[in-house]
A and B are shown apart, each in its own frame.
Chain A
């Protein structure tokens, strides 16, 4: 348990470093710790380098932000130049809390806004990752990418929090 904590701390540190480097010097991180939302599940250690190697298509995840053409033809209708943007990390565009009253008010009132149906950060990860993993041969199970935390087990009434009533009833 203790070693696990140390490992997590180390991952967190590398994650912070990785994101720091990418925003400063445009270098591409090899590993990214996706940790900003972790609560029911542990952070995800995202092997960026391996995905680059396998995918060879940055636009599949980064849409129109990194200079590569996007896989989504809807992007190209407006973003014709596809020039690199300063914000390339998922969480820089996809909000951790996508349904705040302020955001909904802003999109409700701004009738000309195109990006009014932008998934939140959690959905951006899951839709993008599992959407692709289903097509290819990537893992799709919840704990294939992130272990569940104690809080998570409590939430799902699983593990040591699993209901005992059912087995009692049968006797």
Chain B
């Protein structure tokens, strides 16, 4: 009698577990198609227009009240700066939330300049990775963070596929993450474009509704096809980014990672994370069952079955 009920229990457990797994994973995938807030803003960066004047860096420094730079912002020798390994270019850090880098791609008559800052992903990996929920994707499209909540774990720095967040290493007592916030506090919140966009003499950056910018980008490609590569970087990459790019040369030649794919980073973990509640709920019961079964088989005989009865009655 007791054996049959145990078998039934195990069967039910397995079937239930499988159903739960399927149910959970379906639910997880169902939540995976967030394409950004419909009225979210963005910036279309046209690399073919940039002349490398670094005005955007100066504007960012002023707007975000960043520390005094090592060199004036009209000093173009920074383009020759290389990282410790001699090849990497400048990247944003605690004192520079945006930097301009220079590329001399093969086949291009003139150098190509590229501004680097947070791309304000629709589904940000930094936000996904943050275990204290310091990050927020605002309805205006900015990815901001609360430095008061940030514990300085730097998970977001590892998670970011664009290598964007910097870290205030200079702060001994309270080091936190530092990155471009789309001028959210001082401008975006009030419907104004970020400081870099406003100061750029060439209008390299076009500020607008993300959906409109995608149309504008494709229009530019269509109307001046000889000027552009037929692709908007960030339209689909990693689930779409708020900042998107047009270029006149292949994107990988000017430092873009073209292998990132279209799925947001969270899709890599969503299925797994969806099974966690199931594991927590089902596995204790399931393994208790296995344990009891194993224990019964190991002993066998009537006396043990009596013991099992006692066990079950508990």
Residues of A within 8 A of B (CB): 74, 98-101, 104, 107-108, 116-117, 119-120, 122-123, 126-127, 130, 134, 140, 142, 155-158, 161-163, 165-166
Extra pairs beyond A99-B193, A108-B209, A158-B74 (15, CB < 8 Å): A74-B223, A100-B191, A108-B212, A116-B215, A117-B216, A122-B203, A123-B200, A156-B55, A157-B68, A158-B73, A158-B75, A162-B72, A163-B69, A163-B71, A166-B70
Cβ–Cβ < 8 Å partners of B53 in chain A: 142
Q: How far is the CA of A101 from the CA of B110 in the complex (A)?
A: 35
A98 touches B203 (CB 8 A): yes
Contact with A along B193-211 (1 / 0, CB 8 A): 1000110111100111100
Q: B262 at interface (Cβ–Cβ under 8 A)?
A: no
Chain B, 215-254, CB within 8 A of any chain A CB: 215-216, 219-220, 223
Which of A99, A108, A126, A161 contacts B201, CB < 8 Å? A126
Given A99-B208, A107-B208, A108-B212, does the pair A157, B203 have CB atoms closer than 8 Å?
Answer: no
- Which of A98, A119, A134 counts the most B-chain CB atoms under 10 A from its CB? A98
B74 touches A156 (CB 8 A): yes
Q: How far is the CA of A119 from the CA of B201 in the complex (A)?
A: 11
Q: How far is the CA of A155 from the CA of B55 in the complex (A)?
A: 9
Cβ–Cβ < 8 Å partners of A120 in chain B: 203
Closest to A154 in B: B62
Which of B58, B70, B201, B219 contacts A156, CB < 8 Å? B58
Cβ–Cβ < 8 Å partners of B193 in chain A: 99
A116 touches B71 (CB 8 A): no
Q: How far is the CA of A156 from the CA of B219 in the complex (A)?
A: 34
List 4 A-B pairs, minimum CB-CB distance, nearest first.
Answer: A123-B203, A101-B191, A158-B72, A99-B193
Give chain A nearest CB distance to B78 CB in angstroms: 12
A-B contact count (CB 8 A): 78
Which of B110, B202, B203, B208 contacts A108, CB < 8 Å? B208
Q: B27 at interface (Cβ–Cβ under 8 A)?
A: no
Cβ–Cβ < 8 Å partners of A134 in chain B: 110
B202 touches A123 (CB 8 A): yes
User: What is the interface of chain A mostly: helix, strand, loop, or mixed?
Assistant: helix
B202 touches A116 (CB 8 A): no
Q: How far is the CA of A52 from the CA of B28 in the complex (A)?
A: 65
Give chain B nearest CB distance to A153 CB in angstroms: 9
Q: How far is the CA of A166 from the CA of B95 in the complex (A)?
A: 15
Cβ–Cβ < 8 Å partners of B207 in chain A: 99, 104
Cβ–Cβ < 8 Å partners of B206 in chain A: 117
Chain B, 33-81, CB within 8 A of any chain A CB: 49, 51, 53, 55, 58-59, 61-62, 68-75
Q: B309 at interface (Cβ–Cβ under 8 A)?
A: no
B68 touches A127 (CB 8 A): no
Give chain B nearest CB distance to A21 CB in angstroms: 28
17 sample A-B contacts, Cβ–Cβ < 8 Å, listed by A number: A99-B192, A99-B208, A108-B209, A116-B215, A123-B200, A126-B201, A140-B51, A142-B53, A155-B58, A157-B61, A157-B69, A157-B73, A158-B74, A162-B72, A163-B68, A163-B72, A165-B70
Closest to B212 in A: A108
Closest to A159 in B: B72
B201 touches A116 (CB 8 A): no
A122 touches B201 (CB 8 A): yes
Cβ–Cβ < 8 Å partners of B223 in chain A: 74
Closest to A104 in B: B208
Q: How far is the CA of A48 from the CA of B314 in the complex (A)?
A: 99
Q: How far is the CA of A107 from the CA of B219 in the complex (A)?
A: 15
Cβ–Cβ < 8 Å partners of B202 in chain A: 123, 126-127, 130
